[in-house]
Amino acid sequence: MTHDSQTPRVLIVEDEPMLAYALEELVIEAGFQIAGVAGKLDAAIEIIDRGVCDAAILDANLKGVSAGPAAEALKARGVPFIILSGYSQDQRHMDFAGAIHLQKPCRPERLIEARRSILLVP
C-alpha cells in the first residue's frame, strides 16, 4: 500500500467481513487511506506494532475475544481510535476509557464525523 504522507491511515479491526468491507469503503470515500483490515486480535496488534496507522476503528468483540489488548496497544502509541460495538452501554464489560463509542448499527455520517474529530481534520 503506497503511503501518501498527507493522508491519515486508518486501521479497521472488524471480524464481520461485510462490515469490514463497508467500513473500508466508507473510510476511503471520506478521503482517508487504509492502514490495514484485521478480523482477528493478533493480526490487528501486528499492524499496530508496525506503526503504520494514524487512527483505528475497533470492533469491541472479535469472535468472542475482547479487542481490549488492541485498544491498549493503540493507547500506548497515542493512536486515537473509535470503538464500535453491538453491546449496549450497560452490557459493555471492557474498559475502553477515553475512546469514542459508537453503537452498531451506526450511520456512516456519524462514523466519519467521529473519524474526523479524532484525527483533528476538517
Partner 1 sequence: MKPKRLTKAAIFLENQDLRARLDDVEEMLRAIGRGEADALVIENGAGPKVYTIEGDEAEANRFRSDMLAMVSDAIVAVDDNERIIYVNAAAERLYGFPASSALGRKLAEIRTSHWPSPEAREAAVAMFRDRGEWHGDHVHILNDGRIIDIESSSTKLRNGYGGLGGRLSVMRDVSARKKHETQVAISETRYRRLFESAHDGILILNPGTRKIVDANPFMTQMLGYSHAELVGRELFEIGLLKDESASQEMFQKLRATRAVRYDNLPLETRAGQHQDVEVVANLYDESGDPVIQCNIRDITERRRAEEHVKLLMAEVNHRAKNLLAVVQAFAHQTAKYGDPANFTEQLSDRIDGLAAGQDLLVRNHWMGVDVADLVEVQLAHFKDLIGTRVLIDGPPALTLNMAAAQGIGMALHELATNAAKYGALSNRVGRVHIAWRVTDAPKPTFSMSWQESGGPVVAPPTRKGFGQIVIGRMAEASVEGRAEMAFRPSGLSWDLSASVENTLVSTGSRVQMRTGNDAR
Residues that bind partner 1 (CB under 8 A): 15-22, 25, 37, 39, 61, 63, 85-88, 91, 93, 103-106, 108
Q: What is the dihedral of CA 56, 60, 65, 71, to 10 degrees?
A: 40
User: Are 46 and 69 within 8 A, CB to CB?
Assistant: no
What minimum distance in Å lies between the beta carbon of 5 and partner 1?
27
Contact 11, 36 (CB under 8 A): yes
Give 5 or 89: the residue with its C-beta nearer to partner 1. 89
Cβ(12)–Cβ(25) under 8 Å? no
Report in angstroms how near the CB of residue 77 gets to partner 1 at its nearest: 26
**Of 37, 98, 50, the residue nearest 72 (C-alpha):** 98
Q: Least distance to partner 1 from the beta carbon of 22, Å? A: 3
Which CB atom, from 69 or from 108, has the smaller least distance to partner 1?
108
- Give 19 or 30: the residue with its C-beta nearer to partner 1: 19
